[in-house]
Amino acid sequence: MGLDISYEAVAAEAYAHIDSGGVGMGIGIQCDIATPALVRHGTEELKELFLRPTISGDKVACLGVSEVGGGSDVAALRTTARRDGDQWVLNGGKMWTTNGAQADWMCVLANSSEGDPHRNKSLFCVPMDTPGVNVHKIIDKMGMHSSDTTETTFENVRIPHGYLIGEEGKGFIYQMQTFQNERIYIAAGTIAALDRCIQETIEYTSQRKAFGKSILDNQYVHYKIAEMQTELECSRALYYKCIDDYIAGEDITPLATMLKLKTARLAREITDGCLQFWGGMGYTDEVLVSRLFRDLRLMSIGGGADEVMLSILCKYMGIHPDMNKI
């Protein structure tokens, strides 16, 4: 349709008005995380097989990057893809796979050769009903309960050579490009959800009375909420700049990384601060704020932990101690 990333961002904001955060996360995997590399680099035949039915909703997609031995350290993954004639043979496993239990296919990042870990990886479309693909369990999580998260293994999984996305050895680069989409999507949904968290807290504290006045009338409470809103607006401004720069074709890696880091930390601060003002009700499962407290805690972990975001930023700033090794 020729639409730019701002349309995806608007959609992500809209999904944040669904009380269950897992719904927007599942859709985001389908649209912004498992499929961008296929859109950019896949052959027309591969798009017809996997992308078209995914867009129409006839197939569910998931992404296979994180593994049991590591999540954010993408270069260290151990799943392999060995060429055997006109086929690829995959062995290994993936962890923390959103949509994994219901997916029809997985976009898998695997080592397709030896050597430099940034240049030996490739991306593949792997149908989940292929012999040797095993979904071992659905993982019980602290939040995002409506979203399935799985552990999956590959045991001599054979797929056609044509299921390779783009060029062999370019998988790491393709995946890093996709992460910029992911960080914008995460920020869009998180900022919109935090807006709801603040507004619901204002409404509740304005009605809840203690010691002869509303909770909101306490100076500490309304000052703290004003601080939260100020921090959120600063994050929103960075979010809009990332979108504008992305559309303009600029490299937004540093800004998108800052956006992911700041928004994720705000998710922890704002949900925790708002929950406190709800008192005992905030500690129940009956109110939205407690759900947001659980669901949005993921943002500092999923899609690259806060510490990984800081490491990336330090490398871009030239202050990382391992710069001479890069």
pLDDT digits 0-9 by tens, 235-247:
999 999 999 999 9
Does residue 82 sit in helix, strand or coil?
Answer: strand
Catalytic residues: 182
* Residue 43 burial by Cβ neighbours in a 10 Å radius (0-12, 13-18, 19+): middle
Q: What does the DSSP 8-state code read for residue 76?
A: G
Report the distance separating Cα 28 and Cα 185, nearest Å.
7
What percent of the chain stands above pLDDT 90?
Answer: 91
More confident residue, 199 or 71: 199
The residue assigned the tokens 């890696």 is 253
Spatial CB neighbours of 240, under 8 Å, sequence gap ≥ 6? none
User: Contact 272/281 with Cβ under 8 angstroms?
Assistant: no
Taking residues 127-147, report their average pLDDT: 94
Tell me the pTM.
0.92
Taking residues 211-227, report their average pLDDT: 97
pLDDT averaged over every residue in the chain = 95
pLDDT band at 324 (very low <50, low <70, confident <90, very high): low
Per-residue pLDDT for 99 more than 80? yes
Handedness of CA 41, 33, 114, 134 (dihedral sign): negative
Per-residue pLDDT for 2 more than 90? no
Per-residue pLDDT for 6 more than 80? yes
pLDDT band at 18 (very low <50, low <70, confident <90, very high): very high
Report the distance separating Cα 175 and Cα 156, nearest Å.
24
The residue assigned the tokens 């870990």 is 117
What percent of the chain stands above pLDDT 70?
Answer: 98
Taking residues 211-235, report their average pLDDT: 97
Question: Which pLDDT value is given to residue 326?
Answer: 45
